[in-house]
Amino acid sequence: MLLIPQLPSKPAYLRVKIWRRLQRLGAISVKNSVYVLPASEQALEDFQWLLREIEQGGGEGMICEANLIDGLTDQEVQGLFDAARDADYGEIASQLRTIAAAIRRKRKALTNEAPELKSQVAKLRRRFTEVNAIDFFGDAGRVIVEGLLSELETRLIDAVASDQKERLAPSENSAELVGKTWVTRSGVHVDRIACAWLVRRFVDPEAHFKFVSVKNYDAEPGELRFDMFKAEFTHVGDMCSFEVLLERIGLNDPALRAIAEIVHDIDLKDGKFGREQVAGIAHVIAGICVSQKDDLARVERGSALFDDTYEYFRKKRGR
């Protein structure tokens, strides 16, 4: 599929805008102002929208589907696509290796810099996803980058788990938490849903929950409060209630730490950890809360989501 645009000399920004759009689409240039995508319905639609932008900017152009007869062969054109993606993957791999070297140098004092390193890895994961979407012929660099990303993500989780001095010393014996009624605010969302899941999955499978509407609730005998004012387990500093609960009961599990980072970013909206799963899980939680008005029903539905998420991270780490 060919796009042959003719752009006006002014405004200059239009040329830059169109060039960037072509880059995001994964198009390559085979001649001056002749751009190629592998023929598909999606490629046609992408070129049509781009041509519309060109025309709105005062330019013109044409789109055509072509068979190469002389000059470049199909294999040579595929080679151009592969070379472009190989360069993209190579750039990502280089940055990942730089981060890996930094982790090796700082392995004895990694805790403070771990969030920034995780943010960098998350950005490269998103860039990898963008490149992979326009890797039409499966360049070999994809496998290399995927391996580097998975290794780094795992190493960061493990490094922090082994190196980090706990900000909150584990002070709760799990046995002392069994048989309690766990109280929280009604209208549960991600943090409270995740806390309830953690309690039932790892502390007390028969735990009971109580949802109250009052802001200041005095616990009765046999009750523990979470994610509410004066609660036994609630926000501390920049930590959400799930993070605090995880630390206090001393669950040192990299898969749970990954979930804690996701819950943190959804609940506090600060992008501290930048995990790629945040947006998807946030949308699912929002859907649960819209469709389920009952708090316990939200906990049940959300628990299924966190069960699957936990298994994903646990098995990913074990690969």
pLDDT digit string (tens) for 23-77? 999 999 988 889 999 999 999 999 999 999 999 999 999 999 988 777 788 889 9
Determine the residue type at 317.
R
C-alpha angle 117-157-89 in degrees, rounded to nearest 5:
55
Cβ-proximal residues to 185 (8 Å cutoff; 6+ apart), any chain: 192, 211, 212, 213, 215, 227, 228
What value does the mean pLDDT take over residues 250-272?
91
Average pLDDT (178-203) is 96
pTM over the 0.75 mark: no
Q: What is the mean pLDDT of residues 254-264?
A: 95
CATH code of the domain covering residue 37: 3.30.70
Q: Are residues 81 and 147 in the same domain?
A: yes
pLDDT reported for residue 258: 95
Residues 205 and 311 both lie in one domain: yes
Do 33 and 100 lie in one domain? The reply is no
Closest by Cα among 23, 32, 25 to 4: 32
User: Is the predicted pLDDT of residue 170 greater than 60, yes or no?
Assistant: no
**Of the candidate ranges 110-114, 117-121, 133-137, the one whose mean pLDDT is the lowest:** 110-114
The per-residue pLDDT for range 293-309, each reduced to its tens digit, is 999 999 999 999 999 99
How many domains is the chain partitioned into structurally? 3
Question: Domain check: are 252 and 147 in the same one?
Answer: no
Per-residue model confidence (pLDDT) at position 238: 76
State the average pLDDT over residues 101-110.
Answer: 70
For residue 147 the two structure tokens come to 């391996």
d(C-alpha 55, C-alpha 5), whole Å: 9
